[in-house]
Structure 1
Amino acid sequence: MTRKPDVSCVFVCHDGDGRILLARRSAQARDEPGAWDCGAGALEFGETFEEAVTREVTEEYATAPQKIALLGVRNVLRPGSHWVAVIFAVRLDPAGARIGEPHKFDELGWFAPDALPSPLHSQLPPTLELFTAR
């Protein structure tokens, strides 16, 4: 069997005024429960990146993106998994954001990049480097 990397669309949602939206991963999350993270989801066959981001943001945060901008790409190698992460900045209306997938997340919060909660998901700091460099 040949294993191939998966493609993930990762999104750092922001309000346009400097705050970013993070979600705390629930006890049922696939990995790192209790860690704060931005959103992400696998690219489905036949989808554009923007379609995947729109679908995933709407599923996870129950509101549609206002603006989507490509930030960069990361090669994520973890024990047992390999992802090509395509990273986006996504502007959201803070009034519309809420938990859309309570089995994955148990809390949402808007944070200044210099005042983040802890613990952070292990993959969040290198993703935020792309966001803050824009």
Structure 2
Amino acid sequence: MTRTPSVSCVFVCHDGAGRILLARRSAGARDEPGAWDVGAGALEFGETFETAVTREVLEEYATPPLAIDLLGVRNVLRADPPSHWVAVVFAVRLDPAAARIGEPHKFDELGWFTADTLPAPVHSQFAETFALFSAAAPAR
């Protein structure tokens, strides 16, 4: 375990019409295989947040963002496995027809969902991220 927090760009992809894109984590995922989750990736040295989000969205969903909006920041402390992340959370609008699995070694299914049709199980960090997204919904 490192003793320094890492920075992650977390993104809730949406279609601008009330649906969000979630990916089901495959057996090869770093943690919580089988759980549905939003996208995320580590900020690399020298990157802006927007550059990191664009890179990660392209890697995970094989399509570029149409819009990127900052939602907030979370301090994520996990005991198992031990980790500490500063999660900078974004809303990212995508073309739903263009999104597809870009990293099949990490994800085995994608789906577009509304707040009342969310799949189960969701990742342990999903609820707090989705709360930030939901609170900002009128701004999108």
Please, what is the CA RMSD of the aligned residues? 1.1
Aligned pair in 2 of structure 1 residues 24, 2: CA closer, same or farther (>3 Å)? closer
Quote the Cα distance in structure 2 between the aligned partners of 1:123 and 1:2: 20
For the residues of structure 2 that align with 1:19 and 1:51, how far apart are their CA atoms? 24
Measured against aligned partners, the alpha-carbon deviations of 1:92-127 in whole angstroms (never above 9, x if no partner) come to: 000100000000000000000121000000000100
The residue number in structure 2 matching 1:116 is 118
> For residues 116 and 17 of structure 1, what CA distance do their matches in structure 2 show?
15
Give the structure 1 partner of residue 14 of structure 2.
Answer: 14
Secondary structure in structure 2 of the residue aligned to 1:114: coil
SS at match of 2:3: coil
CA change 1:22–1:2 in 2 (3 A) is closer
> In the TM superposition, what are the counterparts of 1:77-96 in structure 2 within 5 Å?
77-79=77-79, 80-96=82-98
Alignment partner of 1:43 is 2:43: yes
Distance 2:111 2:98 in 1: 13
Partner Cα separation in structure 2 for residue 103 and residue 18 of structure 1: 28
Aligned ranges 1:49-88 → 2 under 5 Å: 49-79=49-79, 80-88=82-90
Give ranges in structure 1 of 5+ residues lacking alignment: none
Calculate percent identity across the aligned residue pairs: 80
Moved over 6 A (4+): none
Structure 2 unaligned blocks of 5 or more: none
